[in-house]
Structure 1
Amino acid sequence: MSAKSSTVFDYRYRAFLFDMDGTILNSIAAAERVWAAWAKRHGLDVEAFLTTIHGARAIDTITCQALPGVDAQAEARGITQAEIEDVEGVVAIPGAVEFLKSLPANQWAVVTSAPKALALRRLQAAGIVPPAVMVTAEDVVRGKPDPTCYQLSAQRLGVPMAQCLVFEDASVGICAGEASGANVMVVTSAHRVPMTTTHSTIDSYEQVQVQRDEGGCLRLLRRQVA
């Protein structure tokens, strides 16, 4: 879509598409509490297992473990309920609330691997008003890194995929954004270790602002630091 020398700041977009966990809110502590307890019950190496949970649907994470005698659907429902009940420490990424409020309501969406009930609970806990368009775990047959979720959100917004900017933090989500045909911005606020990426990055939304032109297109701008 773009020349190698170009960045996401060089383009105008019709819509911004946001992953949720790690991208507009930080739920790492809550998610890892729930998943660590699950992994321990099933005799897994908790520390190693926790590196696999971020950005993916619960059903996909559980299925990948191929545990004998485990009903993945039932276990995923249990994980979701536990996560809905535990939102302690769920907070917005710095600047996210204000940045999202600055966007036209019909030009952004949340595209998350979480089920809808959990997504709404975490958005509420973080003080983020849900957008009109949300694509959640129930909306797709295949989760990230499959690009269908992002393509579906663009379709619901009535915007060509090539005119969207995807905001992501996790590897599987970045791959989904790339495969969708959109440009990708990587949000690093929740990263515990640096990520090597060819994409533009921001640590927080305090570093950027959006400008809407007369034609209704959105342009991402870096804030000038005094």
Structure 2
Amino acid sequence: MSFAAAPEIKLPQKAYAAFLFDMDGTILNSLAAAERVWGRWAAAMGLDVESFLPTMHGKRGIDTISALNLPGIDPVAEAEFILRGEIEDVEGVVPIPGAVEFLSALPPERWAIVTSSPIELAKRRLRAAGIPEPRHMVTAEDVTVGKPNPQGYILGSERLGVNPSEALVFEDVLAGIRAGEAAGADVMVITATHNHEIKTGHWKIPGYLDVTTHIADDGRLLVRFKG
């Protein structure tokens, strides 16, 4: 059954000046690749891999490692080590269903990616998923504080020339949702890669197969069900 038929699925009725997309888990699925690399590192560090892995999604690697306060560990060196591993391992990185079509329908000057990934990894995963690089992208190097800090979404809005309150943020994890909220944007939660429900009052959709972009007469963007 199409999720458009499900009464619990609702979409925002307002139009937006721009859309801001997280990358991993939101427009592409890199879950298996990321957890392979981070899982090996966590095991080598003596961490409980099963409990650790859910904590690293949606945040910059340097922030995740620094927060662990591991004795004798250089977070910068470890983050670089993990980055090299993630760049080498993109097996199974695929687009979220319907994402390529959804993105291709957007005016290129009206949307951006705001990701916690470094630029090299972001480009590698986009290529692996068959998603063209956008005109505008905010990556780990562009911010001094990562998600859940709103800096990335504020910067993404500035690059598009809009106020964050006029943007719709697409996210999949709590850190990113909080970043979008703190920036003052509305948030749409993509649940395609969720193993456990995130309790939030924001709009939720499982993917992009049954939604499309509608461009209003004034050029603003709306999300609508197909058909």
Gap runs ≥5 in structure 2: 1-9
Asked if 2 retains the 8 angstrom alpha-carbon contact of 1:8 and 1:184, the reply is no
2:102 to 95, 99, 104: 99
Q: What is the alpha-carbon distance in structure 1 between the residues aligned to residue 210 and residue 41 of structure 2?
A: 37
- Matched with 1:78 is 81
In 1, Cα distance between the equivalents of 2:94 and 2:185?
27
Question: In 2, Cα distance between the equivalents of 1:21 and 1:92?
Answer: 9
Measured after TM superposition, the shift of residue 215 of structure 1 is 1.2
2:202 matched to which residue of 1?
199
- Structure 2 SS opposite 1:206: coil
Q: Contact (CA 8 Å) 2:11, 2:224: kept in 1 or not?
A: no
Counterpart pick for 1:112 among 115, 130, 149 = 115
Off by >2 Å, runs of 4+ in structure 1 = none
Query: By how many angstroms is 1:51 displaced?
Result: 1.2
What is the root-mean-square deviation in Å for CA atoms of aligned residues? 0.9
Cα separation, 2, equivalents of 1:163 and 1:36: 38
2:171 matches 1:168: yes
1:185 maps to 188
CA distance in 1, matches of 2:27, 2:214: 19
Asked if structure 2 preserves the Cα contact closer than 8 Å seen for 1:8 and 1:183, the reply is no
- Report if aligned partners of 2:210, 2:225 keep a CA contact under 8 Å in 1: yes
Kept after mapping to 2: 8 A contact 1:30/1:86: yes
Q: Alignment partner for residue 23 of structure 2, among 17, 20, 24? A: 20
Q: Deviations over 1:76-112 (max 9, x none)?
A: 0111110000000000000000000000000000000
Deviation at 1:207, TM superposition (A): 2.0
Structure 2: distance between partners of 1:176 and 1:223: 29
Structure 2 residue 176 is matched with structure 1 residue 158:
no
Q: How far apart, CA to CA, are the structure 1 residues paired with 2:185 and 2:191?
A: 19
Q: TM-score, normalised by structure 2?
A: 0.94
1:39 aligns with 2:30: no
Question: How far is the alpha carbon of 1:67 from its aligned partner?
Answer: 0.4
Q: C-alpha displacement at 1:8, in angstroms?
A: 5.0
Tell me the SS of whatever aligns to 1:185: strand
1:105 touches 1:131 (CA, 8 Å); kept in 2?
yes
Q: Identity, % of aligned pairs?
A: 56
Give the secondary-structure state (helix, strand or coil) at the position aligned to 1:10.
coil
Local SS of the residue matching 2:195: coil
Number of equivalenced pairs? 218
- For 1:36 and 1:217, how far apart are their aligned partners in 2? 42
Q: Give the residue type in structure 2 aligned to 1:198.
A: G
TM superposition shift of 1:214: 2.0
Where do 5+ consecutive residues of structure 1 fail to align?
A: 1-6
1:111-150 deviation per Cα after TM superposition (whole angstroms, max 9, x unaligned): 0000000000000000000111100001001000000100
C-alpha distance in structure 2 between counterparts of 1:202 and 1:174, whole Å: 14
